[in-house]
């Protein structure tokens, strides 16, 4: 099939491009090459359209002859600085809206949308007395006192974190999360109105070769790696016990191409969590990276950011069961691949 890959010059996009090509698909990339992501610009090529998804003209240029669109283009990061809130809304929400409008005008009906596990806010929690509960935002006074885990909103007892499923309610806690969820809602509306098919993939924490370096928009794995390459200890916020699921970018790429191939047989809108189903902590990641780079041990700082969630891990059973996808790299093997790649 002929695929338009928005954001295809970025970290995840380059791996998805490689996977699509390996599977025999014809790929065209639409990327704005924004300066906060692309310190080094790719060479011009016939399969790259330099343009902005917020531009109807750029979208129209890229959509000619396309069968399926994989929409990765976005402003990424935590979105905890309100100075960036308008850029998140413009790049992610408005950009997705313009792209969807042009898809409708071009009579295109197949879309894979890159979403994120951050739309859930905090993950699943169970109270021994009250069952499954949804904790509210953590209080600054608790965080200042080193009480990082949320407590039951009904009895103030400790909670047990668990795996969240796609049916869980959304609760975005920052601008990036809100913009990603808005994109899901816009895409679902587009599917209803056009008879299209959308698969939203809620990525967990992605790492691997080509991760962005030395940028505030990088993920925690990239931040830790940059510190180690400077000979510094990774600085771990809170107590390092925040639960996450770290997934190698190659496994993300195969999930994307699997979802794209299944689109003709999917409902109008489907969402899948994409992770390894292996719970690790941010402290685990820092320690594994320090070991791989033979660098200094991580330092737990006790610092926090109000926009962060404590625990978020989801089950990817739906994606495994319905589309037959599964991850292939555990954290240690994946980090060894990152180290061996040198980039």
State the Cα–Cα distance between residues 133 and 47, nearest whole angstrom.
48
Within-domain flag for 35: yes
Q: What is the CATH number of the domain that holds 257?
A: 3.40.50.720
CB 184 within 8 Å of CB 113? yes
Residue 221 lies inside a defined structural domain of this protein = yes
Let me know if residue 273 belongs to a domain.
yes
> Do β-strands 243-244 and 280-281 pair in parallel, antiparallel, or remain unpaired?
antiparallel
Domain presence at residue 147: no
Q: Give per-residue pLDDT as tens, 44-90.
A: 788 999 999 999 999 999 999 999 999 999 998 765 567 889 999 99
Query: Is residue 133 situated within a structural domain?
Result: no
Q: Which domain holds residue 44?
A: 2-123+164-341
Residue 138 lies in a domain: no
Total of domains in the chain: 1
CA 155 → CA 122, 133, 141, 235, distances in Å?
A: 18, 11, 18, 34
DSSP notation for 61-111 = HHHTT-SEEEE-----S----GGGHHHHIIIIIIHHHHHHHHHHHTT--EE
List b or e across 274-293, with b for residues whose CB sees 16 or more CB atoms inside 10 angstroms.
bbbbebbbbbbbbbbbbebb
Residue 254 lies in a domain: yes
Task: Let me know if residue 111 belongs to a domain.
Answer: yes
Given pLDDT bands bounded at 50, 70 and 90, which one contains residue 307? confident
Q: Minimum mean pLDDT among 34-43, 68-77, 162-171, 318-327: which range? A: 34-43
Share of the chain above pLDDT 90, in %: 83
Between CA 185 and CA 191, with CA 188 as vertex, the angle to 5 degrees is 150
Whole-number Å distance between alpha carbons of 335 and 98: 37
Instruction: Report pTM.
Output: 0.94
């Amino acid at each position: 099939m002929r695929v338009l890959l928005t954001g295809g010059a970025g970290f995840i996009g380059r791996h998805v491009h490689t996977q699509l090509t390996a599977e025999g698909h014809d790929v065209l990339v639409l990327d704005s090459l924004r300066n906060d992501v692309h310190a080094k610009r790719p060479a011009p090529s016939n399969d790259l359209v330099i343009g902005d998804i917020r531009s109807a003209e750029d979208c129209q240029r890229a959509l000619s002859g396309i069968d399926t669109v994989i929409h990765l283009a976005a402003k990424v990061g935590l979105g905890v600085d309100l100075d960036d809130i308008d850029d998140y809304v413009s790049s992610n929400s408005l950009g997705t809206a313009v792209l969807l409008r042009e898809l409708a005008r071009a009579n295109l009906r197949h879309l894979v949308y890159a979403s994120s596990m951050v739309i859930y806010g905090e993950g699943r929690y169970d109270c021994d007395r009250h069952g499954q509960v949804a904790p509210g935002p953590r209080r600054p006074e608790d965080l200042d006192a080193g009480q990082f885990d949320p407590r039951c909103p009904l009895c103030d007892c400790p909670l047990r974190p668990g795996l969240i499923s796609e049916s869980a309610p959304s609760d975005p806690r920052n601008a990036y999360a809100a913009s990603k969820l808005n994109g899901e809602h816009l895409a679902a509306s587009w599917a209803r109105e056009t008879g299209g098919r959308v698969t939203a993939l809620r990525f967990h924490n992605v790492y691997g070769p080509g991760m962005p370096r030395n940028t505030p928009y990088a993920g925690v794995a990239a931040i830790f790696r940059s510190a180690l390459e400077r000979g510094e200890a990774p600085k771990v916020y809170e107590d390092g016990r925040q639960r996450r699921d770290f997934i190698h970018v190659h496994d993300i790429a195969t999930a994307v191409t699997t979802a794209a191939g299944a689109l003709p047989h999917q409902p109008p809108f489907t969402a899948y969590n994409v992770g390894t189903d292996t719970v690790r902590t941010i402290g685990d990641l820092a320690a594994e990276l320090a070991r791989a780079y033979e660098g200094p041990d991580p330092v737990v700082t006790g610092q926090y950011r109000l926009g962060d969630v404590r625990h978020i891990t989801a089950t990817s059973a739906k994606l495994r069961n319905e589309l037959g996808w599964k991850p292939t790299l555990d954290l240690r093997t994946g980090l060894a691949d990152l180290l061996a790649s040198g980039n």
